[in-house]
Amino acid sequence: MGILNVTPDSFSDGGRYLDPSAADARVAQLLDEGADLIDIGGESTRPGSTAIDADEQLRRVLGPVARAAAAGAIVSIDTTLPAVARAACEAGAVIVNDVSCLADPDLARVAREADGWLLVMHSLGAMAAMPGFSSSPESLYKDVVAEVTSALASARARALAAGLPADRFWVDPGLGFHKSAAHSYALLRHLESLRALGPVVVGASRKSFLARDVAAPPDGRLGGTVAAGLAAARRGAAVLRVHDVRAMRQALAVERAIESPPARGA
């Protein structure tokens, strides 16, 4: 899954793809590099980012979604707002990527009505805005794997209650979202705990938790991103959400070649 952020303030590539021609070129690049899916978002989810209303999100994403779909891409819309998801699906998106852990079950209804898929990422969502919320990730979990799995299972139950078919529900552990590096690595080590809920999507690309072991700015974390992606794939991740599709594809191809038994006589 390749990433297209149509935002001025995303942590890694904010402002690069606001111009329609730049966004279209990015879509073409991602497809050329081998992306199976393209995730398009109009609101940054980096810490401290400003919430963007539906009208502004739609102004940013509808054109890129429609043009990417017309170019043959399988498009995911990254939003927590049902109105944005609905309009994006009407424009050609088939996956709703929700980073709020399904705070609004109407997102599941939108995905169902579009005959699409719902990807729910774990985050603490509204809890993070409550008075007294601790900004220190270390204090937020007693057992991060169990608690993330439980929260996503609850989101799945809400999605199915809203009419979404069980085979249209995907999960994302939300690496780096209100989580320390240790939490994110623990979730990567134990991805199997999530696989009973649905296909697992992992987004580690360029994230700040990698900086604990990769002392580099976001666009210098390619090696860490690839290592995390390979670890996730080995543990059963179905989709890797990345900025650098070609590098991830190459690493996966070599990994598979190494692990595949040689043909007879080879």
Catalytic (active-site) positions: 207, 241
What are 242's strand-pairing partners?
A: 2
Spell out the SS3 assignment of 61-87.
HHHHHHHHHHCCCEEEEECCCHHHHHH
Q: Residues 6 or more apart from 129 whose CB is under 8 A from it?
A: none
**Per-residue b/e over 94-128, b at no fewer than 16 CB within 10 Å?**
bbbbbbbbbbbbebbbbbbebebbbbbbbbbbeee
DSSP label at residue 218: G
Question: Cα–chain-centroid distance for residue 44?
Answer: 12
CA angle, 100 then 181 then 52, to 5°:
30
